Amino acid sequence: MALKSLVLIHPARRIASPLALRFSTFHQIQTQNVATSSIVRFSSTTSAEPFKPTSEGEKKREQQRLRRGYAIGGSVLVVWLSTHALLLWKRRNEHHDLNKKLPPMNLEDFVVKYLANGEVKTIVFQPSFNVANVYLNNELENEARKTAYQMFSFAPDRFARPPDVRFTYEGDRDSLQKTLSAALKAFFPSGGAPNYEFEIDQFPSYRELSFIIASTAFALVAVLLSK
Protein backbone atom coordinates (compact mmCIF):
# COMPACT_ATOMS: atom_id res chain seq x y z
CA MET A 1 0.00 0.00 0.00
CA ALA A 2 2.81 2.34 0.74
CA LEU A 3 4.33 1.63 -2.65
CA LYS A 4 1.03 2.29 -4.41
CA SER A 5 0.68 5.57 -2.61
CA LEU A 6 4.16 6.52 -3.58
CA VAL A 7 3.42 5.57 -7.16
CA LEU A 8 0.24 7.61 -7.12
CA ILE A 9 1.84 10.59 -5.49
CA HIS A 10 5.00 10.59 -7.52
CA PRO A 11 3.29 11.02 -10.94
CA ALA A 12 1.28 13.89 -9.48
CA ARG A 13 4.46 15.58 -8.54
CA ARG A 14 5.70 15.03 -12.07
CA ILE A 15 2.53 16.56 -13.46
CA ALA A 16 2.64 19.52 -11.08
CA SER A 17 6.23 20.35 -11.80
CA PRO A 18 5.60 21.98 -15.24
CA LEU A 19 2.87 24.12 -13.70
CA ALA A 20 5.21 25.19 -10.97
CA LEU A 21 7.83 26.04 -13.56
CA ARG A 22 5.34 28.14 -15.52
CA PHE A 23 4.24 29.96 -12.33
CA SER A 24 7.81 30.65 -11.36
CA THR A 25 8.66 32.02 -14.80
CA PHE A 26 5.52 34.23 -14.73
CA HIS A 27 6.50 35.50 -11.29
CA GLN A 28 9.99 36.29 -12.54
CA ILE A 29 8.60 38.20 -15.53
CA GLN A 30 6.33 40.26 -13.27
CA THR A 31 9.18 41.08 -10.91
CA GLN A 32 11.30 42.11 -13.89
CA ASN A 33 8.49 44.37 -15.17
CA VAL A 34 8.12 45.97 -11.75
CA ALA A 35 11.84 46.52 -11.55
CA THR A 36 12.01 48.06 -15.03
CA SER A 37 9.01 50.31 -14.31
CA SER A 38 10.62 51.48 -11.07
CA ILE A 39 13.83 52.16 -12.99
CA VAL A 40 11.91 54.14 -15.60
CA ARG A 41 10.16 56.14 -12.89
CA PHE A 42 13.41 56.80 -11.12
CA SER A 43 15.08 57.88 -14.36
CA SER A 44 12.16 60.19 -15.17
CA THR A 45 12.35 61.82 -11.76
CA THR A 46 16.09 62.16 -11.93
CA SER A 47 15.93 63.60 -15.45
CA ALA A 48 13.35 66.20 -14.33
CA GLU A 49 15.48 67.42 -11.43
CA PRO A 50 18.06 69.35 -13.53
CA PHE A 51 15.27 71.59 -14.98
CA LYS A 52 14.37 73.01 -11.57
CA PRO A 53 17.25 75.50 -11.48
CA THR A 54 16.29 76.65 -14.98
CA SER A 55 12.72 77.45 -13.91
CA GLU A 56 14.00 79.22 -10.81
CA GLY A 57 16.40 81.25 -12.94
CA GLU A 58 13.57 82.25 -15.26
CA LYS A 59 11.51 83.35 -12.26
CA LYS A 60 14.40 85.44 -10.99
CA ARG A 61 14.89 87.04 -14.40
CA GLU A 62 11.15 87.76 -14.62
CA GLN A 63 11.24 89.37 -11.18
CA GLN A 64 14.22 91.47 -12.23
CA ARG A 65 12.38 92.62 -15.35
CA LEU A 66 9.35 93.56 -13.27
CA ARG A 67 11.47 95.47 -10.78
CA ARG A 68 13.22 97.28 -13.62
CA GLY A 69 9.88 98.21 -15.17
CA TYR A 70 8.62 99.52 -11.85
CA ALA A 71 11.83 101.50 -11.39
CA ILE A 72 11.53 103.05 -14.86
CA GLY A 73 7.86 103.93 -14.41
CA GLY A 74 8.45 105.33 -10.93
CA SER A 75 11.41 107.43 -12.07
CA VAL A 76 9.48 108.89 -15.00
CA LEU A 77 6.49 109.68 -12.79
CA VAL A 78 8.67 111.31 -10.13
CA VAL A 79 10.48 113.48 -12.68
CA TRP A 80 7.19 114.43 -14.39
CA LEU A 81 5.56 115.49 -11.12
CA SER A 82 8.67 117.16 -9.70
CA THR A 83 9.15 119.34 -12.80
CA HIS A 84 5.49 120.35 -12.64
CA ALA A 85 5.88 121.25 -8.98
CA LEU A 86 9.11 123.16 -9.65
CA LEU A 87 7.64 125.26 -12.45
CA LEU A 88 4.44 125.93 -10.51
CA TRP A 89 6.51 127.01 -7.50
CA LYS A 90 8.49 129.34 -9.79
CA ARG A 91 5.27 130.85 -11.12
CA ARG A 92 3.93 131.47 -7.64
CA ASN A 93 7.15 133.18 -6.60
CA GLU A 94 7.01 135.41 -9.67
CA HIS A 95 3.38 136.21 -8.90
CA HIS A 96 4.20 137.19 -5.31
CA ASP A 97 7.15 139.31 -6.46
CA LEU A 98 4.95 141.11 -8.99
CA ASN A 99 2.33 141.77 -6.33
CA LYS A 100 4.99 143.55 -4.28
CA LYS A 101 6.56 145.47 -7.18
CA LEU A 102 3.40 146.19 -9.17
CA PRO A 103 0.21 145.77 -7.12
CA PRO A 104 -2.84 145.08 -9.30
CA MET A 105 -5.61 147.66 -9.58
CA ASN A 106 -9.31 147.02 -9.90
CA LEU A 107 -11.01 146.55 -13.26
CA GLU A 108 -12.90 149.88 -13.27
CA ASP A 109 -9.74 151.95 -12.80
CA PHE A 110 -7.97 150.00 -15.51
CA VAL A 111 -10.76 150.60 -18.02
CA VAL A 112 -10.88 154.35 -17.32
CA LYS A 113 -7.13 155.03 -17.21
CA TYR A 114 -5.77 152.73 -19.90
CA LEU A 115 -8.29 150.74 -21.94
CA ALA A 116 -10.57 153.63 -22.89
CA ASN A 117 -7.57 155.79 -23.85
CA GLY A 118 -6.29 153.23 -26.36
CA GLU A 119 -3.02 152.60 -24.51
CA VAL A 120 -3.47 148.85 -24.15
CA LYS A 121 -1.68 146.55 -26.56
CA THR A 122 -2.08 143.10 -24.95
CA ILE A 123 -4.02 141.71 -22.00
CA VAL A 124 -2.73 138.38 -20.65
CA PHE A 125 -5.18 136.78 -18.23
CA GLN A 126 -3.96 134.26 -15.62
CA PRO A 127 -6.99 132.26 -14.41
CA SER A 128 -5.01 130.46 -11.71
CA PHE A 129 -4.18 133.77 -9.97
CA ASN A 130 -7.27 135.83 -10.98
CA VAL A 131 -4.95 138.52 -12.35
CA ALA A 132 -4.48 140.04 -15.80
CA ASN A 133 -1.11 141.40 -16.91
CA VAL A 134 -1.36 144.34 -19.29
CA TYR A 135 1.24 145.46 -21.83
CA LEU A 136 0.97 149.01 -23.14
CA ASN A 137 1.76 150.48 -26.55
CA ASN A 138 5.41 151.43 -26.09
CA GLU A 139 7.28 149.39 -28.68
CA LEU A 140 10.90 150.40 -27.99
CA GLU A 141 10.70 150.11 -24.21
CA ASN A 142 8.67 146.92 -24.33
CA GLU A 143 11.06 145.23 -26.76
CA ALA A 144 14.10 146.04 -24.61
CA ARG A 145 12.42 144.79 -21.44
CA LYS A 146 11.26 141.66 -23.24
CA THR A 147 14.78 140.82 -24.43
CA ALA A 148 16.22 141.24 -20.94
CA TYR A 149 13.49 139.27 -19.17
CA GLN A 150 13.11 136.47 -21.69
CA MET A 151 16.48 134.96 -20.77
CA PHE A 152 15.31 134.12 -17.23
CA SER A 153 11.67 133.24 -17.74
CA PHE A 154 9.75 130.11 -18.75
CA ALA A 155 6.77 132.12 -19.92
CA PRO A 156 5.78 132.07 -23.60
CA ASP A 157 7.75 134.31 -25.95
CA ARG A 158 4.92 136.69 -26.75
CA PHE A 159 4.70 137.96 -23.15
CA ALA A 160 8.04 136.96 -21.64
CA ARG A 161 8.64 140.28 -19.85
CA PRO A 162 7.24 142.09 -16.81
CA PRO A 163 3.84 143.71 -17.41
CA ASP A 164 3.25 147.44 -17.38
CA VAL A 165 -0.11 147.35 -15.58
CA ARG A 166 -2.05 144.66 -13.72
CA PHE A 167 -5.65 144.34 -12.61
CA THR A 168 -7.64 141.73 -10.71
CA TYR A 169 -10.66 139.84 -12.01
CA GLU A 170 -12.40 136.85 -10.42
CA GLY A 171 -13.98 134.94 -13.25
CA ASP A 172 -13.21 132.96 -16.35
CA ARG A 173 -11.92 134.02 -19.75
CA ASP A 174 -15.28 134.44 -21.47
CA SER A 175 -16.78 136.58 -18.72
CA LEU A 176 -13.74 138.88 -18.71
CA GLN A 177 -13.93 139.39 -22.46
CA LYS A 178 -17.63 140.19 -22.25
CA THR A 179 -17.03 142.64 -19.40
CA LEU A 180 -14.29 144.47 -21.32
CA SER A 181 -16.41 144.62 -24.48
CA ALA A 182 -19.36 146.03 -22.54
CA ALA A 183 -17.12 148.66 -20.91
CA LEU A 184 -15.75 149.80 -24.27
CA LYS A 185 -19.27 150.03 -25.72
CA ALA A 186 -20.23 152.27 -22.81
CA PHE A 187 -17.31 154.60 -23.59
CA PHE A 188 -17.74 154.40 -27.37
CA PRO A 189 -21.48 153.94 -28.08
CA SER A 190 -21.14 154.98 -31.71
CA GLY A 191 -18.20 152.67 -32.40
CA GLY A 192 -14.52 153.30 -32.88
CA ALA A 193 -13.36 151.51 -29.72
CA PRO A 194 -9.61 150.81 -29.56
CA ASN A 195 -8.39 147.33 -30.39
CA TYR A 196 -6.23 145.14 -28.18
CA GLU A 197 -4.97 141.55 -28.02
CA PHE A 198 -6.36 139.12 -25.46
CA GLU A 199 -4.43 136.00 -24.43
CA ILE A 200 -4.53 133.33 -21.74
CA ASP A 201 -1.53 132.32 -19.67
CA GLN A 202 -2.34 128.79 -18.56
CA PHE A 203 -0.11 126.31 -16.80
CA PRO A 204 1.88 124.72 -18.27
CA SER A 205 2.78 126.96 -21.19
CA TYR A 206 4.45 125.65 -24.35
CA ARG A 207 7.91 126.43 -23.05
CA GLU A 208 7.17 124.91 -19.65
CA LEU A 209 5.74 121.80 -21.28
CA SER A 210 8.85 121.47 -23.45
CA PHE A 211 11.01 121.69 -20.34
CA ILE A 212 8.92 119.00 -18.61
CA ILE A 213 9.09 116.64 -21.58
CA ALA A 214 12.83 117.15 -22.03
CA SER A 215 13.53 116.52 -18.33
CA THR A 216 11.38 113.39 -18.33
CA ALA A 217 13.03 112.04 -21.48
CA PHE A 218 16.50 112.66 -20.02
CA ALA A 219 15.55 110.81 -16.83
CA LEU A 220 14.12 107.91 -18.85
CA VAL A 221 17.30 107.56 -20.92
CA ALA A 222 19.44 107.70 -17.77
CA VAL A 223 17.42 104.91 -16.13
CA LEU A 224 17.50 102.74 -19.27
CA LEU A 225 21.26 103.08 -19.62
CA SER A 226 21.91 102.27 -15.96
CA LYS A 227 22.51 98.63 -15.06
Q: Per-residue confidence of the chain (227 residues) as pLDDT tens digits? A: 444 444 444 444 444 455 454 545 555 555 555 445 544 454 444 444 444 445 777 888 888 888 878 878 888 888 999 999 999 999 999 999 999 999 999 999 999 999 999 999 999 999 989 999 999 997 545 554 555 454 445 444 445 678 999 999 998 999 999 999 999 999 998 888 899 999 999 888 888 889 999 999 988 888 788 75
Whether residue 114 is found in the same domain as residue 43: no
Q: What is the pLDDT of residue 121?
A: 94
Whether residue 106 is found in the same domain as residue 197: yes
Whether residue 218 is found in the same domain as residue 135: yes
Cα–Cα dist 2/197, whole Å:
142
Residue 200 β-bridge partners: 125
| 130 Cβ neighbours under 8 A, 6+ residues apart | 168, 169, 170, 171
Whether residue 39 is found in the same domain as residue 80: no
Q: What is the pLDDT of residue 226?
A: 73
Cα–Cα dist 176/125, whole Å:
9
> 3-class SS at 153?
coil
Whether residue 134 is found in the same domain as residue 189: yes
Burial 101-129 (b: 16+ CB within 10 A, else e): eeebeebeebbeebbbeebbbbbbbbbeb
Whether residue 88 is found in the same domain as residue 183: yes
Q: In this structure, are residues 134 and 141 in contact, taking their beta carbons and an 8 Å threshold?
A: no
Whether residue 61 is found in the same domain as residue 37: no
Cα–Cα dist 129/84, whole Å:
17
Whether residue 17 is found in the same domain as residue 61: no
Q: What is the pLDDT of residue 147?
A: 52
Whether residue 122 is found in the same domain as residue 227: yes
Q: Which domain holds residue 9?
A: 2-49
Whether residue 43 is found in the same domain as residue 78: no
Count the domains in the chain: 2
Would the pTM of this model clear 0.75, i.e. be above it?
A: no
